[in-house]
C-alpha cells in the first residue's frame, strides 16, 4: 500500500523568469489555485495523506501557503465574507487531513537527486513521486490509476502519454512491450531522442510509483555533465540490471505546465472547464469573436 508521496519543488524555475524570482513556479496560479494544489488534491483523492516536499533552502512560500490563517479567517467571518471563508476552509481541510514533511535539497542537482533526499523519510516503503509541472485532468486520479497497476504487479510503474511526433525530442521516450490494455513492460528509455530515432510515441510523464530499491540506484548514480542525477538514467540502469518496470498509459488530459506557453494553454483549458467561470468566459470569447 502506498502511504507516502514525494513532490520535488526545489528547482530554480528558470523557464518562468523573471516571475519565478519572486514566486516559486509551483505557486503560479492555474485559474483560482496554484499548480501544487492540483497535485496535492490528486494525492489526497488517491487515498494518500503523507506528503514529502523537497524544497529549496530557506524557501517557505509553499509551506506558508498551506498553513492555517486564524487571523484571516476571523476577519472574513466578522466581515461576513462567507464565500471567501469557504475557500479558506477547503484549504484548511487539506492541511488538517494531511501530514506534511519538508526535506531540503541544498542544491538543484536533478530530479533523481531530489528524490534521494527523501530516503530517510520513506525508509523501506513503496512510494509515489509527482511533479507539479505536470497536471492531469481525469475522472480517476492519475496516481490512483497507477496504484491499481502497482497493487497487481508490485513493481515500479511510470505514467505514459502518447505525444505528437514533432514533440518527441522533448521527453523521455520508452521502448515497450505491450502486455495488456494500456499496460506496457518497459524495455528501454531514450531521453530526448532525435524525432526520427524515437523508439515509440509514448513519453514518461511526471507520475511514478517506486519500490524502495530505487534509493540504492540513486545513491550510486554517477552525476552527468551538469553534475545532476536524472531519474530516467537511473531507471535505465535498473532495466539494464534486469529489473522490471511497467508503464501505464493513463486516461485523462495532460497539461504541460513546465513552460510558459504550456502554462498559458493550461489556464485557458481549465478556465473554460471551470464550473463557476467557464460559461461566462465562453460567452466572452464568442462575443468578442476571439
What is the tens place of the pLDDT at every residue in 37-65?
999 999 999 999 999 999 988 888 888 88
Domain 4-287 in CATH: superfamily? Spore Coat Polysaccharide Biosynthesis Protein SpsA; Chain A (3.90.550.10)
* % residues pLDDT > 70 (the chain): 100
- Beta-bridge mates of residue 210: 127
Task: Using the predicted structure, report yes or no on whether residue 290 has a pLDDT greater than 80.
Answer: no
pLDDT tens string 17-35: 898 888 889 999 999 999 9
State the Cα angle at 89 between 85 and 94, rounded to 5°: 155
Q: Quick one: pLDDT at residue 76?
A: 86
Closest CA to 210 of 107, 114, 82, 286: 114
Q: What grid cell was written down for 201?
A: 510515441
Q: Quick one: pLDDT at residue 35?
A: 94
Ramachandran region, residue 280 (left: φ > 0; alpha: ψ -120 to 50; beta: rest): alpha
Domain-by-domain residue ranges, the chain? 4-287
Q: Quick one: pLDDT at residue 49?
A: 93
Q: Quick one: pLDDT at residue 85?
A: 87
- 95 pLDDT band (50/70/90 cuts)? confident
- Rounded CA separation 185/181 (Å): 12
Q: Quick one: pLDDT at residue 70?
A: 84
pTM of the model: 0.92
Give the SS3 label for residue 156: coil
What is the maximum span of the chain, computed from C-alpha positions, in angstroms? 63
pLDDT tens string 258-279: 999 999 999 999 999 999 999 9
Task: Using the predicted structure, report yes or no on whether residue 180 has a pLDDT greater than 90.
Answer: yes
pLDDT tens string 193-252: 998 899 999 999 999 999 999 999 999 998 887 888 999 999 999 999 999 999 999 999
Question: Which residues are CB-contacts of 13 (< 8 A; sequence separation ≥ 6)?
Answer: 20, 24, 25
pLDDT tens string 124-174: 999 999 999 999 999 999 999 999 999 999 999 999 999 999 989 998 999
Backbone angles phi and psi of 107, in degrees to 5: -135, 145
Closest CA to 167 of 256, 71, 282: 256
Q: What grid cell was written down for 12?
A: 530554480
Q: Tell me if 97 sits within 8 A of 44, measured CB to CB.
A: yes
The rounded mean pLDDT for the chain is 92
Q: Quick one: pLDDT at residue 120?
A: 93
- Rounded CA separation 62/41 (Å): 15
- Crossing angle, helix 278-287 and helix 260-273, to 10 degrees? 110
According to DSSP, the β-strands at 4-8 and 50-55 are parallel
- 1 pLDDT band (50/70/90 cuts)? confident
Q: Quick one: pLDDT at residue 63?
A: 85
- For residues 90 and 233, the model is more confident at 233
Q: Quick one: pLDDT at residue 157?
A: 97
Q: Tell me if 208 sits within 8 A of 156, measured CB to CB.
A: yes
- Taken in order 56, 160, 136, 89, the sign of the CA dihedral is negative
- Rounded CA separation 69/261 (Å): 33
Q: What grid cell was written down for 125?
A: 516503503
Amino acid at each position: 500500500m502506498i502511504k507516502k508521496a514525494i513532490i520535488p519543488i526545489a528547482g530554480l524555475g528558470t523557464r518562468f523568469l523573471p516571475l519565478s524570482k519572486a514566486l516559486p513556479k509551483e505557486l503560479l496560479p492555474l485559474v483560482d489555485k496554484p499548480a501544487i494544489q492540483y497535485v496535492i488534491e490528486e494525492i489526497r483523492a488517491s487515498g494518500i495523506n503523507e506528503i514529502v516536499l523537497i524544497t529549496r533552502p530557506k524557501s517557505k512560500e509553499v509551506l506558508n501557503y498551506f498553513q492555517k490563517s486564524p487571523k484571516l479567517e476571523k476577519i472574513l467571518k466578522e466581515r461576513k465574507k462567507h464565500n471567501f471563508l469557504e475557500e479558506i476552509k477547503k484549504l484548511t481541510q487539506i492541511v488538517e487531513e494531511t501530514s506534511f514533511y519538508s526535506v531540503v535539497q541544498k542544491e538543484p542537482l536533478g530530479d533523481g537527486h531530489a528524490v534521494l533526499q527523501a530516503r530517510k523519510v520513506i525508509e523501506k516503503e513503496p512510494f509515489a513521486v509527482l511533479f507539479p509541472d505536470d497536471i492531469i485532468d481525469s475522472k480517476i486520479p492519475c496516481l490512483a490509476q497507477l496504484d491499481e497497476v502497482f497493487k497487481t504487479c508490485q513493481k515500479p510503474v511510470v505514467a505514459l502519454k502518447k505525444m505528437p511526433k514533432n514533440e518527441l525530442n522533448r521527453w523521455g521516450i520508452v521502448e515497450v512491450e505491450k502486455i495488456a490494455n494500456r499496460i506496457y513492460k518497459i524495455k528501454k528509455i531514450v531521453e530526448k531522442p532525435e524525432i526520427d530515432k524515437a523508439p515509440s510515441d509514448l513519453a514518461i510523464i511526471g507520475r511514478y510509483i517506486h519500490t524502495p530499491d530505487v534509493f540504492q540506484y540513486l545513491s550510486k548514480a554517477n552525476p552527468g555533465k551538469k553534475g545532476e542525477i536524472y531519474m530516467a538514467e537511473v531507471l535505465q540502469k535498473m532495466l539494464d540490471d534486469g529489473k522490471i518496470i511497467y508503464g501505464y498509459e493513463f486516461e485523462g488530459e495532460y497539461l504541460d505546465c513546465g513552460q510558459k506557453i504550456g502554462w498559458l494553454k493550461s489556464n485557458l483549458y481549465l478556465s473554460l472547464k471551470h464550473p463557476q467561470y467557464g460559461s461566462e468566459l465562453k460567452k466572452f470569447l464568442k462575443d468578442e469573436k476571439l
